[in-house]
C-alpha cells in the first residue's frame, strides 16, 4: 500500500470525512478500486475522534522457519502413523493373492514408520508448544501470515486426500471389490485426515470469532 494513500485516508478520516466521500475522491484521482478498498480497510469503523488502525499481519523469518518446520513434522507424523497402522492391518488381514518373499520388507517398513513417528511427532509438539507460548507472550505473533498460508495449504491437501479416498472407496464398493483390509485402510485415512482437518478448522473459526 502506498504511504501517500494511507496518510491521505488517515487524515481524511481524522477530519470526519465519510468513507464513501474518501472513496469517491480517490477513484476520481484514478486510484485503483482495490487500492482504495485496502487503504480504507486498514482502519476500523469505531466511534472514536481519531482513525483507529487495524492490527497488521505478522511476518518474521524466524517465525516462518519454525512454522515451516512444525508443518513438515506434522506431515511426516501423519504419514508415518498411517503407514504404521497399514502395516498392522496387512498383518491382521493378509492378502491371499499376494506372494510374500519374506518378512524383511514389512519389518523394514514397520521400523521406518516407527522411527519417523518417534522423531517427528515429539518435535512437532515441541515446536507447537514454543510457538503457542510465543503467541501468548506477544499477541502480534498470533497473526502470522506464514501460519495462515500453511494452515490453508494443509487444509487443501487434507481435503484432497479425503476426497480421493472417498472416490477410491466408492469405486471399489461399486465394483464389488471391497475387502476388510481396504475398508480399514480407508478408515485410517479418514480418521487421520479428519482429525487434522477438524483441528485446524476449529482454530480458524476461533480466530475469526475473536477478530
Domains of the chain, by residue range, sit at 3-53, 61-210
* The pLDDT value given to residue 210: 64
| Positions of the chain with pLDDT under 70 | 1-2, 48, 54-60, 95-106, 138-143, 210-211
* The pLDDT value given to residue 114: 93
* The pLDDT value given to residue 104: 45
Find out whether 134 and 141 touch, Cβ atoms under 8 Å: yes
* The pLDDT value given to residue 45: 77
* The pLDDT value given to residue 99: 47
* The pLDDT value given to residue 103: 47
Residues 6+ apart with CB under 8 A from 91: 106
Find out whether 155 and 197 touch, Cβ atoms under 8 Å: yes
Amino acid at each position: 500500500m502506498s504511504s501517500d494513500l494511507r496518510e491521505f485516508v488517515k487524515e481524511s478520516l481524522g477530519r470526519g470525512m465519510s468513507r464513501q466521500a474518501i472513496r469517491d475522491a480517490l477513484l476520481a484521482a484514478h486510484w485503483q478500486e482495490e487500492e482504495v478498498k485496502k487503504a480504507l480497510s486498514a482502519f476500523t469503523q469505531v466511534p472514536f475522534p481519531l482513525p483507529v488502525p487495524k492490527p497488521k499481519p505478522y511476518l518474521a523469518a524466524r517465525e516462518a522457519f519454525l512454522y515451516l518446520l512444525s508443518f513438515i513434522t506434522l506431515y511426516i507424523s501423519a504419514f508415518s502413523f498411517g503407514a504404521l497402522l497399514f502395516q498392522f492391518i496387512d498383518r491382521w488381514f493378509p492378502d491371499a493373492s499376494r506372494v510374500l518373499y519374506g518378512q524383511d520388507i514389512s519389518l523394514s517398513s514397520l521400523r521406518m514408520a516407527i522411527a519417523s513417528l518417534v522423531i517427528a511427532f515429539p518435535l512437532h509438539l515441541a515446536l507447537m508448544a514454543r510457538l503457542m507460548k510465543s503467541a501468548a507472550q506477544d499477541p502480534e505473533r498470533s497473526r502470522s501470515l506464514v501460519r495462515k498460508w500453511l494452515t490453508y495449504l494443509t487444509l487443501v491437501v487434507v481435503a484432497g486426500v479425503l476426497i480421493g479416498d472417498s472416490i477410491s472407496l466408492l469405486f471399489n464398493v461399486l465394483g464389488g471389490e471391497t475387502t476388510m483390509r481396504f475398508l480399514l485402510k480407508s478408515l485410517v485415512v479418514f480418521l487421520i485426515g479428519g482429525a487434522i482437518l477438524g483441528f485446524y478448522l476449529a482454530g480458524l473459526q476461533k480466530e475469526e470469532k475473536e477478530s
